[in-house]
Amino acid sequence: MALRFEILGRFNRARAARLTLPHFTCQTPLFMPVGTQGTIKGLTTDQLEDIGCQIILGNTYHLELRPGSRLIDELGGLHKFMNWKRALLTDSGGFQMVSLLHLADITEEGVTFQSPVDGKPMLLTPEESIHIQNNIGADIIMALDDVVKTTITGPRIEEAMYRTLRWIDRCIAAHKKPDVQNLFGIVQGGLDPVLRDICVRGLVERNLPGYAIGGLAGGEDKDSFWRVVAQCTAGLPENKPRYVMGVGYPLDIVVCSALGADMYDCVYPTRTARFGTALVPEGLLKLKQNAMATDERPIDPTCSCMVCKKYTRAYLHCLVTKDAMGSQLLSYHNLSFMMRLSRDLHTSILEGRFPEFVRGFLRAQFPKGD
Ligand code: PRF
Ligand code: ZN
């Protein structure tokens, strides 16, 4: 195993931990920004370090299309290629089955994609996904899973869960660098507690360095979502990191952390920034609104990020959606917000004031109590 996971403090099911990875020692709960192509859109790696990012995400499928994992390997791995010294995690490409389903065909062998670059078919098997991820060299690599939308029902959910369990053995067998890269398994099974339970048990038997909860944040209602997270965290080992994939919203991160999850990733903070929306303790601040045109305050007076120290809402209103700098400054603030949330969760759990932190967070987001 190429990681250490030490729980430093708990509050009921919530945990504050130190996660030591080959390239960086992280504090959990933690949020991981998504840099699909080996970059977080609009930010330099120095800026990402400045705001306290600990792990960033890359995607196997996108990196294989461009520039290709062979080239990344020849140039010394993704850390060196993108000039990022801290931890990296690559997703297996499994999720693209959902997000690019019109381009994908799934069989027991693997997933066949039509390359959006040249239209050629590309077969991503569990072996190939792990081979590519071994070449890319991230600290954490993800098993290839069969992902289906939680909003569908019927035998396809069961098929995908059992296939995910069969594929994990092919992933484990293909993994050539277990001493420097950690392979995480992904729990599937839709919203069905029986299927989720079978998947959790099956993965735990394989004694992996960490586990992800997949297949969520795909349009199901919050109640079902939180119920699946609660069930999975209860069944996963205490002493291993738990990663909820594709989550996202500050509220979900707070709730999932209370349920015992440790890691999160989502494009939301950077994507919403490109649409002109800032994350603030009260919820969302839409910089495009006319009222911002003359507002001399920073985005968030309680935020100590560079953008909030140096720029007014009026200036950002002028830039957003018109100049790349608008997206860049808003992404910088939004990721700073997510990093502060991660730190606040960690320290409040550690210092025994997690309930007060959650209450304060909820009061700011829902002042009317709804
Ligand atoms: N599997 C993989 N990546 C993912 C997910 C998943 O289930 C999700 C959940 N919607 C986000 N990213 N491999
Ligand atoms: Zn800020």
Which of 60, 61, 92, 98 is the best mutation target for the ligand 1 pocket, counting ligand atoms within 8 Å of the beta carbon and taking the most?
Answer: 98
Measured in angstroms, how far is the CA atom of residue 65 from the centroid of ligand 2?
Answer: 34
Nearest bound ligand to the CA of residue 215: 1
Whether 215 is in the pocket of ligand 1, judged by its Cβ within 6 Å, is: yes
Whether 145 is in the pocket of ligand 1, judged by its Cβ within 6 Å, is: yes
Can you give the pLDDT at residue 357?
98
Can you give the pLDDT at residue 150?
83
Can you give the pLDDT at residue 48?
98
Can you give the pLDDT at residue 105?
84
Which of 145, 203, 229, 242 is the best mutation target for the ligand 1 pocket, counting ligand atoms within 8 Å of the beta carbon and taking the most?
Answer: 145
Whether 50 is a known active-site residue: answer no
Can you give the pLDDT at residue 97?
59
Can you give the pLDDT at residue 113?
81
Provide the ipTM: 0.99
Whether 329 is in the pocket of ligand 1, judged by its Cβ within 6 Å, is: no
Choose the catalytic residue: 91, 145, 146, 262: 91
pLDDT in tens, the chain (370 residues): 899 999 999 999 999 999 999 999 999 999 999 987 889 999 999 999 999 999 999 988 889 988 999 999 999 999 999 999 999 999 998 787 567 656 678 899 999 887 777 778 888 999 999 999 999 999 999 999 999 888 888 999 999 999 999 999 999 999 999 999 999 999 999 999 999 999 999 999 999 999 999 999 988 999 999 999 999 999 999 999 999 999 989 999 999 999 999 999 999 999 999 999 999 999 999 999 999 999 999 999 999 999 999 999 999 999 997 899 999 999 999 999 999 999 999 999 999 999 999 999 999 999 987 6
Can you give the pLDDT at residue 94?
73
Atom 9 in ligand 1: which residue has the minimum CA distance? 215
Neighbouring-strand partners of residue 10? 15
Whether 94 is in the pocket of ligand 1, judged by its Cβ within 6 Å, is: yes
Whether 46 is a known active-site residue: answer no
Can you give the pLDDT at residue 260?
98
Whether 214 is in the pocket of ligand 1, judged by its Cβ within 6 Å, is: yes
Can you give the pLDDT at residue 119?
77
Nearest bound ligand to the CA of residue 305: 2
